[in-house]
Chain A
Amino acid sequence: MSRLQVVSGKGGTGKTTVAAALALALATEGKRALLVEVEGRQGIAQLFETEALPYEERKIAVAPGGGEVYALAIDPELALLDYLQMFYKLGGAGRALKKLGAIDFATTIAPGLRDVLLTGKACEAVRRKEKSGRFTYDYVVMDAPPTGRITRFLNVNDEVAGLAKIGPIHNQAQAVMRVLKSPETAVHLVTLLEEMPVQETADGIAELRAAKLPVGRIIVNMVRPALLDDTDLALAETAPRTAIAKSLSAAGLGGARRGGLAERLVGPLLQQAGEYAERYALETEQRSVLAEQDLPLHELPLLSEGLDLAGLYELAAQLRKQGMS
């Protein structure tokens, strides 16, 4: 099991939710997982129903079985100041740089620099050890940028190599790349069973593979239950409406005759079945596209009551059951 688990996905597919559920799932039996946020959205705080997270590691949840989940929202500006402090012992000058806008300048001028600071912080957490010699975190789960940007984001070496050919940033990038391209890392992609997210997932996997980054698993999120199977759908096409009306009436839903309550349900119910059939066909098509990727596939259910903290634990349990942790 890779110790750095990177979770990406198209916007709207719930990658933050999946990353959080994965951290909970990995933090079993006294294990410790760090959930890292890099886009400054405070999505983790919202999920765990806490106030906004500062730039420090803090415990946000206890997993079933006693494991712990820590969270860290990385601020690229503060990360750069930390970094300068470490290498140049800047002292007060760091604050002066910030005041001048130099920090903002440096992190925006070179997108690669910003990314290397973010990935660098995550890699540092992966490698960090306690005095006892055990790793501080058994797992680090990163809520990463979306699929469209993930390869660029992780491939900091190429990005920075073009800009900074020497210097500490260059060395840092090299060190980060060694972790990211090793089996220590797995990049998972979250998708929905819809055309665009699936297409983007397939494109993203191709890009990651081309950049020799380790692709982990595909996680299909918000899967709706299969309430009607092929037989049912075929029958829905041919079944006499009168028979369905009788069946509804038998279940106590009113009269089966024309104009009766049960009879009047048949039309709308069959229409819903027709919509379901259309979606079912589309989903089957998307599932086959995903199957072609030749990667382990996981499915998480759509939570009918919407997502809350309880739902997050439910998803974590699902991931554990499906062997993702």
Chain B
Amino acid sequence: MSLDPARVLDLDPLLDDPKTRIVVCCGSGGVGKTTTAAALGLRAAERGRKVVVLTIDPARRLAQSMGIDSLDNTPRRVKGVEGSGELHAMMLDMKRTFDEIVEAHADGDRAAAILNNPFYQSLSAGFAGTQEYMAMEKLGQLRARDEWDLIVVDTPPSRSALDFLDAPKRLGSFLDGRLIRLLTAPAKLGGRAGMKFLSVGMSMMTGTLGKLLGGQLLKDVQTFVAAMDTTFGGFRTRADATYKLLQAPGTAFLVVAAPERDALREAAYFVQRLAAEDMPFAGLVLNRVHGSGAARLSAERALAAAEDLDSVDAENPGSAAAENLDEARIVDQADGKAGLRNSPDTYGSSESPASETPAPDEGSPAATDRTAATDRTTATDKAAATDPERSIDQLTAGLLRLHAERMQLLSREQRTRDRFAARHPEVPVAEVAALPGDVHDLAGLRDIGNRLAAHRPELPES
């Protein structure tokens, strides 16, 4: 199945468009969301925009490389950015963000009372959804400051990608809800007198909750909500405002995934959900896609050949591999294209034939290979004299097994992607080739940025 060019997600125009003000990277945990957000931010900055990246939980070394490993909850300018733009980055401190809201909206004494309230402390540090809510709050703050023309947001590593949309609303409606108002009524109206206005159900409920949690907690909640309520407007209003900001045309959602079953299943849910919520969805970023420069050699054939080499060694230790060469099968072609008379053009694969698209990492494999081969041949021919042929055969068998593993991975990834594409043919995709290691410097992020924005698919189509 080939990738229809119409479905290739072209990221540069999105990043360059001055109308794009917010890019949200979402997806399930462990798919490279933070790295994608940072790489997009760097790329946009180096293309001339003034960017701020809001990361939630970056890997330590990535944070250090961007100079945002200190938790001061404000954006820092990232050094080493090339070009005319600017990159600022920050790491979210959810408790600090919550504290700042309180400090900004309450006078000294009242703020202190809220900050010291045990219920507040528990809520600001641990409530499921606080992190999501604070990420959105911070996004709103950054947008309001209007110092940057592009904000790239990473989303919290929620247990499910969907939490990110629900949690702010949940926390908002929870803090602003009917129930909490009823609960706080006694405190506001001055103790028992207020209870008269409550239904029987409610008084029973506060009674039960009091028994269950201990009276102190309920009292803490009541004091807390009363203090919050008088100092700043409803949480729901704030949550609604952020929600509307996300729906605005200047926002672009990118769903990040890896070509694995679970990650793509989450991605599919997210795509549907964004559509249902009228959120502006730009496309799917598919990280960690594997390729092979030798995709025409199937896993089965590679394994069979590796076994051949093993058995040659076992039967005839020390035999020169060259003796087994069938000279008749070797035909050199001037253009380097496969043109063997007695050898199949592709190595009898159960897969569909590979195309001639060059490998992702080699501009022109035939040409570069050849010069490299010539260099190495002269340099290492002497070494060959000391290396027994047997270990070369062993190495070759190992290389073939490694290739077989890669091809199995490739076909598994392909099946997973095909399933996604079949269900969501309208979704544009940007593929990013897998890196063997982790990214922890600007050069690495720049490399990812290049891979993200590559116009052609990274892989040979098959």
Chain A interface (Cβ within 8 Å of chain B)? 10-13, 39, 41, 84, 88, 90, 93, 96-97, 100-102, 104-106, 108-114, 145-146, 148, 152, 159, 162-170, 194-197, 199, 224-225, 227-228, 231-232, 235-236, 238-244, 246-261, 263-273, 275-276, 278-279, 282, 304-307
How far is B238's CA from A288's CA once the two chains are assembled, in angstroms?
48
How far is B398's CA from A108's CA once the two chains are assembled, in angstroms?
55
**Could you say which residues of chain A place their CB within 8 Å of the CB of B204?**
93
Query: Are A268 and B174 in contact (CB-based, < 8 A)?
Result: no
How far is B293's CA from A204's CA once the two chains are assembled, in angstroms?
40
**Could you say which residues of chain B place their CB within 8 Å of the CB of A165?**
214, 216
How far is B216's CA from A193's CA once the two chains are assembled, in angstroms?
46
Task: For A242, give the chain B residue with the smallest CB separation.
Answer: B377
How far is B369's CA from A258's CA once the two chains are assembled, in angstroms?
10
Query: Are A254 and B343 in contact (CB-based, < 8 A)?
Result: yes
Query: Are B29 and A267 in contact (CB-based, < 8 A)?
Result: no
How far is B60's CA from A260's CA once the two chains are assembled, in angstroms?
47
Q: A228 contacts which of B157, B373, B402 (Cβ < 8 Å)?
A: B402
Closest chain-A Cβ to B114's Cβ sits at a distance in Å of 16
Report if B122 contacts A (CB, 8 A): yes
Query: Are A239 and B395 in contact (CB-based, < 8 A)?
Result: yes
Contact with A along B48-70 (1 / 0, CB 8 A): 00000000000111000000000
Query: Are B30 and A11 in contact (CB-based, < 8 A)?
Result: yes
Query: Are A272 and B213 in contact (CB-based, < 8 A)?
Result: no
Binds A, one of B10-18, B228-236, B320-328, B421-429: B320-328
Binds A, one of B146-154, B358-366, B444-452: B358-366
Query: Are A271 and B361 in contact (CB-based, < 8 A)?
Result: yes
Report if B312 contacts A (CB, 8 A): yes
Q: A244 contacts which of B59, B324, B368, B396 (Cβ < 8 Å)?
A: B396
**Could you say which residues of chain A place their CB within 8 Å of the CB of B306?**
251
Query: Are B405 and A106 in contact (CB-based, < 8 A)?
Result: no
**Could you say which residues of chain A place their CB within 8 Å of the CB of B212?**
84, 106, 113, 164, 167-169
Apart from A12-B29, A106-B212, A238-B380, what are 16 other A-B pairs with CB-CB below 8 Å? A12-B31, A41-B160, A146-B157, A163-B118, A169-B214, A195-B59, A227-B402, A236-B395, A238-B387, A242-B373, A247-B389, A251-B397, A256-B325, A258-B373, A263-B373, A268-B293
Q: Is the interface of B mostly helix, strand, loop or mixed?
A: helix
Report if B226 contacts A (CB, 8 A): no
Q: Given A96-B201, A250-B322, A251-B306, answer yes or no on A264-B405 (Cβ-Cβ < 8 Å).
A: no
**Could you say which residues of chain B place their CB within 8 Å of the CB of A231?**
391
Query: Are A239 and B343 in contact (CB-based, < 8 A)?
Result: no
Report if B384 contacts A (CB, 8 A): yes
How far is B337's CA from A260's CA once the two chains are assembled, in angstroms?
8
**Could you say which residues of chain B place their CB within 8 Å of the CB of A263?**
373
How far is B305's CA from A239's CA once the two chains are assembled, in angstroms?
19
Chain B interface (Cβ within 8 Å of chain A)? 28-31, 59-61, 118-119, 122, 126-128, 157, 159-160, 170, 174, 177-180, 201-202, 204-205, 208-209, 211-214, 216-217, 220-221, 261, 263, 292-294, 297, 301, 305-306, 308-309, 312, 321-326, 329-334, 336, 338, 340, 343, 347, 359, 361-362, 365-366, 368-370, 372-373, 376-377, 380-381, 383-384, 387, 389, 391-403, 405-406, 408-409, 412, 436-438
23 contacts between A and B (CB under 8 A): A102-B208, A106-B209, A111-B122, A114-B128, A164-B213, A164-B216, A167-B211, A195-B61, A240-B380, A240-B384, A241-B376, A243-B387, A249-B324, A249-B329, A250-B309, A255-B331, A255-B340, A258-B370, A258-B373, A259-B370, A264-B338, A264-B369, A279-B436
**Could you say which residues of chain B place their CB within 8 Å of the CB of A88?**
208, 211
Closest chain-A Cβ to B177's Cβ sits at a distance in Å of 7
Q: B122 contacts which of A148, A162, A194, A225 (Cβ < 8 Å)?
A: A162
Q: A166 contacts which of B214, B220, B376 (Cβ < 8 Å)?
A: B214
Q: Given A108-B174, A306-B261, answer yes or no on A244-B370 (Cβ-Cβ < 8 Å).
A: no
Task: For A303, give the chain B residue with the smallest CB separation.
Answer: B412
**Could you say which residues of chain A place their CB within 8 Å of the CB of B347?**
253
